[in-house]
Amino acid sequence: MTRLTLNAEVPNERVDQFLARSVEGLTRSGAQKLLEAGSVRSASGAILKKNARLNPGETLTVELPDPEPLDVVPQNIPLDIVYEDRDVVVVNKPVGMVVHPAPGHPDGTLVNALLYHCGKSLSGINGVIRPGIVHRIDRDTSGLIIVAKNDAAHLALAEQLQDHSLARTYEAIVVGGLREDAGTVDAPIARHHTDRKKMAVVPGGKRAVTHWSVVERYAGYTWVECRLETGRTHQIRVHMAHLNHPILGDTVYGSKKPYPGLAGQCLHAKKLRFLHPSTGEPMEVECPLPEYFTTLIHKLKKL
């Protein structure tokens, strides 16, 4: 059982709406089931009903059931390993690969491949479903992901995620021409109020900060570099769409029509900077742009 302590921020908000907005992966119906089970309590210990209204600053305690373990098996799936030692492994994930097993994707994931490659040498902090996984990238995003091979490394890297010393830099092609050469999006992100599969810029959501700069301009498109200061779900995709410059090929936050030649959004996690969890030494790991990205650049240059 996982216990969370949350602080309400929006005046007179229903508790089920607040939970669905605040707990990643929790739908409103899921929040209502927790409330019906008596798993949500006020600071005084009183069990809250699903139609309860919250005041700003009110503290809740939520007990989340542990996820049911999946039968995750090692699979001999080739990995593009950019760096590896006894504490960490950094993988260049291809477009289309899911990071960890989930309903609809029971195997063929990065975790299945890591279990085959690393054996038992993976952090157990995230359990059997996500062993070693410190952070995630979307299925249709390519690029670097760092994996912890022991619990001490996992805790150290997770702390760096929290204090932003683990820096992640992405490259993307966005639709349209950005007016400035660089900028920062500081806009809070939470679950979309009607489409629970999407994220959105929402007042009262979790703070999200993305720094971007132009790499190259084309007719109707811009190549940008994005550096995450925070790491919310779909953050770069949501923030660029918020600027009215969605990532090319993103059928969730941009055009519903796929872009010819792209299997997903044109977004690549190109660089990681972190402090080595054992030595404290500054590390920088980088991978080249994938073929789909360079092919697209050549195509855009001819427009």
In three-state secondary structure terms, 19 is: helix
CB 45 within 8 A of CB 51: no
Question: Which CATH fold topology does 2-64 show?
Answer: 3.10.290
Distance CA(237)–CA(175), nearest Å, equals 12
pLDDT tens by residue, 18-60: 887 777 667 777 788 888 888 888 888 889 887 889 888 888 8
* Region for 157 from its dihedrals, namely left if φ exceeds 0, alpha if ψ lies in -120 to 50, beta otherwise: alpha
CATH 3.30.2350.10 fits 68-163, yes or no: yes
CB-based contacts of 46, cutoff 8 Å, min separation 6: none
Gyration radius (Cα) of the chain, Å: 20
Say whether 169-269+293-301 and 68-163 share the same fold.
yes
Element (DSSP H or E) covering residue 140: none
pLDDT tens by residue, 146-202: 999 999 999 999 999 888 889 999 999 999 999 999 999 999 999 888 777 799 999
Token pair in block for residue 203: 């007042």
What dotted CATH number matches 169-269+293-301? Answer: 3.30.2350.10
In three-state secondary structure terms, 154 is: helix
Q: Which residues are marked as active site?
A: 138
Element (DSSP H or E) covering residue 292: helix 291-301
Please report the sign of the dihedral spanned by the C-alpha atoms of residue 263, residue 207, residue 110, residue 169.
positive
Domain boundaries, the chain: 2-64, 68-163, 169-269+293-301
